Chain A
């Protein structure tokens, strides 16, 4: 059972991002495995994400040829080679832009973007925020390992301040991004977070994303054992005390035997409390569909990277017309009064005859 099934108001029928994609059943995970040898380092979190993704894809119930995976550059961006659908391993940072062009011109495709913290938040930051605000029907999976892996270990825009890396022998000076906060600030209509090692949770988030018409942003904590091992160790244990599983419509409870809860605090912020110490009515019931992003933002600010209180799951999922739908609707409206006529266009209105 999906942890986020409540968001799937269509029930077991089509996932909403796929309404214009042809239907096909009977596919299995193996149908999405390409013959390419997977070449990440042993123990890399990318393996688990790939396996979870491949096992999830049959759930889309669309033909394999209608799935497109677009990536940028980085370790994670190798992923399209391993999925036997259509794919493009593109340019550093540009995957959201390429996918936007593809998805807005081909609504019969299910388009997935694979990116990393360097790819999406550094060199491609501009494309990420604009894809999110535009709300093109693409699903963005950001593998956050908080380091540059492919270039062998420089700090990334999500690395903690003071991090000692090859390029920062005295510690990094940069203050990191919180990817969920950033996406919310960029007007994203769907924002979620999951963890590489929790396949069930990750797939539930992918499912919710596929059921969202518009851009979906999913941050995935991903371990890089080579250059940044155990960066997410505190939240890797299924019952990690600081891990908060957000479930839409349910009261947020976490910690030892669910003893902790959340409540509203000063200036719109949210704080963790001993559930027994406050009236039941003050404990937050998670609602990902709130139009105002302040609540989701406050959730994202519960924690930096100290992992004392780290929510995972769907922070936000709100309805907003997708860019590709709006583009198609505009064309349809204009075309309702007739198709273009090339000869008439070329002639224009201001002509003269030479005899």
Chain B
């Protein structure tokens, strides 16, 4: 039969199933197909912290949401247009997010009495009318897959496991995704196990054919490629981009890269990635704990490496003493915090922006540290290079804030031309024997007049032998000093050095197309996409709204105070209880309006748009 084709400008799909159902893989593949097809896209993986929560239970549900469009988009989308539910738990856990009228594909094979009871369904939701408002497609995904694989040389269990590929095939057909990439991916992944490879390919094709032949799917959708800037693209997650940014920074600074790390969700992928790149001479040190990870990195920094330690919030607490020593001895150290929901263990796989104040102030003494925040998955690449630039130029630890959403989320990335990246090696030089004055001793705490950075004199350099430590140092000589005035001078000098970084960063750019806006929406970090989408909505509704987004959280760009004064109202949305707002109030006496939701998820564009409307309505 010929199917009707309906054109859409965007679609949000959510694949949901048991953590063992391969939903992340399914989502990844659909994302790749979509990227290759040329849509703009944004993704939101959402999975339980437990590796294998009990099968079929609500805590075991894993999902992957993908938003793709024929135009440039900023977020993974608020509410799905399509939900694929592989079992009752996935249905129950995700249905509340599904607007009426959305497409709902349910795997009917899993709707057994036992499975239904496990998640508290008294009756089969397919029969009790509770799904009446949706475009329901009941599909026996498991049995169709098993049937398609009849006669193949695999166990029933393996056949059932291929059901995610059946679902992927069906969805790929439904949205006209190119299949070649998935077929070659399967070959690469299962090439060594021909039976499994064959089963997955067969299941994928069976799903595709099912869409084509069954009457249940009468309409096929088309989302045209987006018009985006020309160039070569790839899809990239924040953690991968961050790892690449660190490798690039090492190359650009002409320094060996050293990573000290301890596994922690959601930052471990950076360690995994960097451990692969020995071709670039990257040294990865999986330490016995977070403290040692940071300490080993600081030791490598003393020796002249571009030193990095990566973690998430709970690890940041433990690294604080090393960061503080790095502040005191003034050595470069990039500290990456992929923030997650807290306090304490919190929700390891969920995102938050709650470590900002800890990054700025979570150490004893006056301990100023530059803080950078990445704003999108691909931006993690550039944020890492910027963090490294500041670290080596100013000889200081730098905290780079990413978060779980950025780390695991992905977006298409126009691959940058390596020649356009900044030459970090021009920003600093190791001290040499020539830095020892002819008539006296080398002064390890003398300062560059422009940056206030002290010399980076690495062991092995004759004539510059010196001792550093966490005890207060005399200005210039670096000798131990308990002199009150010297301490005051050193405290102020370290602060001035960090403040001075502001002169090396671009002014905060404000997007205010009409120039008439009275309201500025100011954000930082991973909320960039949702704030941008919300501001677009407000503008479409006829409002003048300005938007600005901070990358440098310490020091702030020099023009921030002036920008804040320019607008009658400043709305600051944050996935915390108002940490940036507190800073703005304290530093600029700016009476900003906070908007806060701390659900472990990115903002929905709709709720932010509502918040904007709300503020505007009080004009």
- Closest A residue to B414 by CB, please name it: A354
Q: Is the CB of B234 within 8 A of A351?
A: yes
Q: CA A270 – CA B425 in complex, angstroms?
A: 60
Q: Does B144 contact A (CB under 8 A)?
A: no
Which residues, 100 to 118 on A, are CB-close (under 8 Å) to B? 100-106, 108-109
| Interchain CA distance A108-B303 in the complex, whole Å | 10
Complex alpha-carbon distance, A338 and B532, angstroms: 43
**In the assembled complex, A248 has its CB within 8 A of some CB on chain B:** no
Please tell me if the beta carbons of A105 and B305 are within 8 angstroms of each other in the complex: yes
Closest Cβ of chain A: how far from B321's Cβ, in Å? 5
Contact B304 A106 (CB under 8 A): yes
The answer to whether B594 has its CB under 8 Å from any CB of chain A is no
Contact B467 A331 (CB under 8 A): no
Across the interface, which residues of B come within 8 angstroms of A338, CB to CB? Answer: 279
In the complex formed, the residue of B with least CB distance to A82 is B467
Instruction: State whether B300 touches A105 (Cβ < 8 A).
Output: yes
Task: Give residues of chain B (282-301) contacting chain A, Cβ–Cβ below 8 Å.
Answer: 283, 285, 287-289, 291-292, 295-300
Measured between beta carbons, the chain A residues less than 8 angstroms from B459 are 65-66, 68, 85-86, 102, 106, 109
Chain A nearest CB: distance from B380 CB in Å?
13
Report yes or no: A351 in contact with B232, Cβ–Cβ below 8 A: yes
Q: Are A90 and B464 in contact (CB under 8 A)?
A: no
Chain A residues numbered 282-320 whose CB sits less than 8 Å from any CB in chain B? none
Q: Separation in Å of the A47 CB from the closest CB of chain B?
A: 18
Cα distance A88–B300 when bound, in Å?
12
Q: Is B357 an interface residue (CB 8 A)?
A: no
Query: Closest residue to B275 on the A side, CB-wise?
Result: A330
Assembled-state Cα–Cα distance A63/B111 (Å): 75
Partner of B229, one of A73, A98, A103, A354: A354
Chain B window 170-185, contacts with chain A (Cβ cutoff 8 Å), 1 for yes, 0 for no: 0000000000010000
A90 to B233, CA, bound (A): 45
Answer whether residue A339 sits at the interface, using C-beta atoms and an 8 A cutoff: yes
At the interface, yes or no: B515 with Cβ under 8 Å from chain A? no
Our pick among B32, B181, B307, B469 for the contact of A88 (Cβ within 8 Å) is B469
| With A80-B467, A90-B470, A351-B234: A101-B300 Cβ-Cβ less than 8 Å | yes
User: What residues of B have a CB within 8 angstroms of the CB of A355 in the complex?
Assistant: 230
B244 lies within 8 A of chain A by Cβ: yes
Looking at B248, B292, B479, B480, the one whose CB has the most chain A CB atoms below 10 A away is B292
A266 at the interface (CB under 8 A from B): no
For the complex, give the distance between the alpha carbons of A240 and B302 in Å.
Answer: 44
Please indicate the chain B residues that have their CB under 8 angstroms from the CB of A68 in the complex: 302, 459
- CB atoms of B467 and A351 under 8 A apart: no
- CB of B299 within 8 A of CB of A99, answer yes
| Residues in chain A near residue B466, CB distance under 8 A | 86-87
**Complex interface residues of chain B between 254 and 298 (CB less than 8 A to chain A):** 256, 258, 260, 277-281, 283, 285, 287-289, 291-292, 295-298
B292 touches A342 (CB 8 A): no
Interface string of B461-474 (1 = CB under 8 A from A): 11111111111000
Residues in chain B near residue A98, CB distance under 8 A: 295-296, 298-299, 302
Are A100 and B299 in contact, with the CB atoms below 8 A? yes
Within 8 Å by CB of A352, from B36, B229, B470, lies B36
Identify A105's interface contact among B303, B416, B465, CB under 8 A. B303
CB-CB contacts of B226-254 with A at 8 A, as 1s and 0s? 00111111110000000010011001000
Q: Decide yes or no whether B491 CB sits under 8 A from chain A.
A: no
B-chain residues with CB within 8 Å of residue A334 when the two chains form the complex: 278-279
Which residues from B are CB-within-8-Å of A90? 295, 298, 325, 469-470
Q: In the bound complex, do residue B469 and residue A65 qualify as a contact, i.e. CB atoms below 8 Å apart?
A: no
Of the residues A97, A104, A351, A352, contact of B292 by C-beta under 8 Å: A97
- The answer to whether B292 and A126 touch across the interface, beta carbons within 8 angstroms, is yes
Does A34 have its Cβ within 8 Å of any Cβ on chain B? yes
Q: Which of B339-395 contact A (CB under 8 A)?
A: none
Flag if B248 contacts A81 (CB, 8 Å): no
Give the CA-CA distance A100 to B295 in the complex, in Å: 9
In Å, the complex CA distance between A226 and B61 comes to 63
- Closest residue of B by beta carbon distance from A337: B279
A351 to B418, CA, bound (A): 16
Residues of chain A having any CB pair with chain B under 8 Å:
34-36, 63-66, 68, 70, 73, 80-81, 83-91, 94, 97-106, 108-109, 126-127, 129-130, 327, 330-331, 333-335, 337-340, 342-343, 345-348, 350-355
7 contacts between A and B (CB under 8 A): A64-B462, A91-B295, A97-B299, A101-B258, A101-B260, A105-B258, A350-B35
Across the A-B interface, the 8 shortest Cβ-Cβ residue pairs: A89-B469, A101-B296, A101-B299, A340-B280, A97-B295, A102-B299, A340-B279, A97-B292
Q: B residues near A, CB below 8 A?
A: 32, 35-36, 38, 181, 228-235, 244, 247-248, 251, 256, 258, 260, 277-281, 283, 285, 287-289, 291-292, 295-300, 302-305, 307, 321-322, 325, 329, 414-418, 441, 459-471, 479-480
